[in-house]
Structures are given as structure tokens and as C-alpha cells.
Structure 1
């Protein structure tokens, strides 16, 4: 019985102390009197300062430096997808034609070069149709490696487009050819006309360049009927050059 009464007294004491703790009493005796009935002061509103806009990327001033930057800088989106596996551009400044695709295909990643396998055979045939080989062109992709699932988010796409505009300005090609809907949507502004209808102009950091757009070879392999429209686009490059 005595132990039971002691336990109940301890529980009562704990409850009593807990009540005063909830009431705000944190010590038995204080040095200063406290007005416990005074309403609490409202919290001062916090001041939220706007985040500073990120500084624009400072791109290298020469094409050789740009290529080195692509290969060495680990802040590019590709460094998070496939470290050390980027497929760098090929070609020189002032190329007769600069060709841009969206990203490497899985076969390209295995081969370490753009347009490998069957798509590469068709791509080379497209070049021969306009009197060119790979040695005559500057070839690159917006994304130098293949992202997971082959999908680009909006933030990465915006960064890649900005980088590509700087690259076109350094290459200074006579003509520009875009391959694939994803490339076309990213690099050409939307309009009522189909971007595959003849030549348009591409804006870059150094001015403008005539640009044509057509299907990616990977689509032509599965939809041969589109080859006729692709040939008309390639002809527009030849005809414009002859004028």
C-alpha cells in the first residue's frame, strides 16, 4: 500500500510540473517579475530578399577553346548523365554546312561518334546527294551525350540552346541544317509555317545564318515515304547556294 501511495504521489507531482511547464514557467524563482497575463508580442515579419539572377554563361571566344570547354568543364548537363562519354563536335570553323541533331542514339554512344549503324549509312547517303562528305561539314548535337530515357527537361534544353547559339557563332557556317523535330522545336521559333518549308534564318550571338530543317535519319528508316520531303529540303540547300 505504501508503495502504491508513493507512485501516485510521484505521478501527481509530474503532472503538476508538466502543467506549469505548459504555462511557460521554466524555473522556480526568477530575478525579474513576469507579467504572465501580458499577450505575446507578434512575430516580426521576415524579409524575403529576391534571389539574384544567375549570371549569363561566359562562353569561350574561339572554337578550339569552345571544344576544350565542352570536353573539360563538368558543369555541362551531360556530366550528370554519362560522365566522360560526351561525343564532341567534328569539323572546322567556316564549314560549308553545319548539321545539328538532337542527341546521340544508343548506337552512337556505343561507337563514340554520331550517326553510327544504319542511321549513319543513310546520313552519308544524304550528304552524297548534295555533293558533300563528313569531311566537308561541321557536325554536332545539342546534347553531347544521351540523357536517361532519351528525354530532356526544360531547364537542360534552355542551357543547351544557349550553348548551341554560341557554338554556331564561332563556327560561322555558310548554311545550317537541323535534323529532327526535337532539334527544330528547340532552335527555331514557332510559327504558322512548317520549318521544313525551304530556307529560313537562324539567330545566333554573331548574327544570322540560312537554315533548313528536315527529318532525322532514324525516322526515315521507319517511314521511307518521308524521304521525298527530305530530298526537297536538301535540294533547297543546293539551289540557294547556286544563286
Structure 2
């Protein structure tokens, strides 16, 4: 009989993503209770995290950027993905709805910047506890989550991005509104999706006006 860890590896190899509750994940280190930590405290824990293999290859931990009481909370997938052309496009997207990168809190679902690239379910799930605490502390009015893997991890869903976008989600138990959309990186490759991204931004803005 194969172990749960082996089963997860086999499913990932077949392209099947399985989103598990944190308590069901076999940890390589004890997960620090960060429920009472402020953002600086959570950042410090993330910098010393040894829960997954990214700890062995990371160049640095990229935690978050922006005001600590931002109305918009924008999530990408991995550090460096909101740089260059992707960053410029994201800024244009936010400016189009009267916001900006400077007034929004930007972070990523995975905190370690690594040369290896490629995110696994394990990477996303171990970092999810940091992400949820960030959201809890910033208390944004809206969370804009970009990219399929990131949206699936945050919402604990196996639905495709096509199924997740275009509708309003609520992040429990925080009760914060979440809108899923395409990552700017994908929009640069497939500009025909910009119409859908614009619709998602309009939906997010509509939630703020209610």
C-alpha cells in the first residue's frame, strides 16, 4: 500500500491537483502558530520556514508590498511574477478602475524566490497559512487573485480558472470578497483574454460600491 505522500506525488505527476487541509499535510518541520503575529512577525517566520523543499533553493523570501490597510489585496503566484511587463500591465489594470499598485497590497501565494521555478500543490499549501494571515491582518475590502493555481489554492477548489472567474467568492472564515482573474503574465501572451480580465475588475469594483 502506498503512503499518502506517495499518492500525492503520483497524482501531481499525472497532472491531478489535490488541495488538502493544512492538518492533512505531512510537515517536515513544526508549523509555528502565527495567529497572534503581526505582519512583521509573520514575515520573520516565513524567512525561516523549512516546511518544503523551496527552503533549500530559495534566494530570498518576498513577503508583500503596499499599505497595511489597503482596500485592494492582489495575489500573484510566485515572487518576481509582478515585475517588468507584468508589473506594468497590472498597474494599468488597477489605474483603469481608479486604483494603483502603490495603494494596493501586493503579495504572492508562494513566498520563496527560487531559481528552480515550478510550483507544486505542496508549495502552495504550506505558504497558504502565511497568505491567510496576511489577508486577516490587512483586512482588505476585496481580494483579487490572479492565475489558476493561486485561485485554486486560496479557495481550496479544483475548478478551472474559467469556472472560478466571473463570480463572487467569499474567503471563509474571514468573510472577505474574492474575485479570480487571469494573471497579467497570461494576458501578455494571450491578449484576447484582456476583455475577461476587465470584466473581472469591473465585477470587483461593483462589489466595493455595494
TM-score (norm 2): 0.76
The worse-fitting range, judged by mean Cα deviation, of 189-198 and 92-101 is 189-198
> Per-residue deviation at 1:190?
2.6
Once the two structures are superposed, the pairs formed by residues 55-134 of structure 1 within 5 Å of their partners are 56-59=31-34, 60-71=36-47, 73-75=48-50, 77=52, 78-83=54-59, 85-104=60-79, 108=80, 115-134=82-101
Task: Select which of 102, 107, 113 maps to 1:140.
Answer: 107
Tell me how far apart the structure 1 counterparts of residues 171 and 151 of structure 2 sit (CA, whole Å).
11
Distance 2:103 2:139 in 1: 14
Of residues 186, 190, 200 in structure 1, which corresponds to 2:153? 186
> How many positions carry a matched residue from both structures?
180
Structure 1 residue 156 displacement after superposition = 2.5
Partner of 1:217: 184
Structure having the higher Rg:
1
Distance 2:167 2:102 in 1: 25
**Structure 2: segments with no counterpart, 5+ residues:** 1-25
Structure with more relative contact order (C-alpha pairs < 8 Å, separation 6 or more)? 2
Equivalents in 2 of 1:213, 1:233: separation in Å? 7
Q: CA deviation at 1:169?
A: 1.2
Q: Quote how far apart the aligned CAs of 1:99 are.
A: 0.6
Q: Which ranges of structure 1 fall in alignment gaps of 5 or more residues?
A: 1-51, 109-113
Match of 2:23 in 1: none
Report the RMSD for the aligned CA atoms in angstroms. Answer: 2.4
Counterpart of 2:164 (choices 182, 195, 198) is 195
After TM superposition, give the deviation of residue 242 of structure 1 in Å.
Answer: 1.3
